[in-house]
Structure 1
Amino acid sequence: MNLRKKLYIIVFYANTRSGRLFDQALLWAILISVLTVLLESVASLDEQYGAVFERVEWFFTLLFTFEYFLRIYISPTPRKYIFSFWGIIDFLAAVPLYLSLFYPGTQFLFVIRFLRFLRVFRVMKLARFTSEAKALSVALRSSMYKITIFFTSILILVLLLGTLMYVVEGKGEGFDSIPESIYWAIITITTVGYGDLVPQTSLGKFISSFVMIIGYAIIAVPTGIVTSEMSKNRTEKSVCRQCDHSNPEGARYCNHCGEKL
Structure 2
Amino acid sequence: MRENKDYFINWKAKLHEIIYEADTPEGKWFDIALIGLILISIILVVLESVESFDHQFHQILYVAEWIITILFSIEYIARFLSINKPLKYVFSFYGIVDLLSTIPLYLSFIFPGSQVLIVIRAIRLLRLFRILKMVKFIGEARKLKEALWNSRTKITVFIFTIVVLSVIIGTVMYLIEGKEAGFISIPKGIYWTIITMTTVGYGDIVPLTALGQTIAAIVMVMGYGIIAVPTGIVSAEFYKQNKFYKIHTNTQACPNCNAQNHNDHAKFCYNCGNYLNEA
Specify which of 34, 51, 68 is matched with residue 60 of structure 1: 68
Specify which of 16, 28, 49 is matched with residue 24 of structure 2: 16
1:183 aligns with 2:188: no
**Which amino acid in the other structure matches residue 230 of structure 1?**
F
- The answer to whether the 8 A contact 2:104-2:116 is kept is yes
Specify which of 23, 38, 43 is matched with residue 46 of structure 2: 38
Give the gaps of 5 or more residues in structure 1: 245-255
Name the counterpart of 1:107: 115
1:123 aligns with 2:128: no
TM-score in terms of structure 2 length = 0.79
Overall identity of the aligned pairs, in % = 48
Distance 1:44 1:67, change over 3 A: same
Specify which of 160, 168, 171 is matched with residue 163 of structure 1: 171
Q: Report the Cα offset of residue 75 of structure 1.
A: 3.5
Question: Greater relative contact order: 1 or 2 (C-alpha under 8 angstroms, separation 6 or more)?
Answer: 2
Give the gaps of 5 or more residues in structure 2: 1-5, 251-263, 266-279
Q: Report the Cα offset of residue 14 of structure 1.
A: 3.0
Distance 1:24 1:225, change over 3 A: same
1:85 aligns with 2:90: no
Aligned residues: 244
Distance 1:10 1:131, change over 3 A: closer
**Which amino acid in the other structure matches residue 60 of structure 1?**
I
1:174 aligns with 2:177: no
Q: Report the Cα offset of residue 179 of structure 1.
A: 0.9
What secondary structure is seen at the aligned counterpart in 2 of 1:175?
Answer: coil
Name the counterpart of 1:141: 149
Name the counterpart of 1:239: 246
- The answer to whether the 8 A contact 2:97-2:123 is kept is yes
Q: Report the Cα offset of residue 238 of structure 1.
A: 5.8
Q: CA RMSD of the aligned region, Å?
A: 2.2
- Measured in 2, the distance between the counterparts of 1:28 and 1:183 equals 42
Q: Report the Cα offset of residue 173 of structure 1.
A: 2.6
Which moves more between the two structures, 185-194 or 166-175?
A: 166-175
- Deviation sequence 1:66-96 (CA, Å, 0-9, x none): 2222333444333333223322222112111
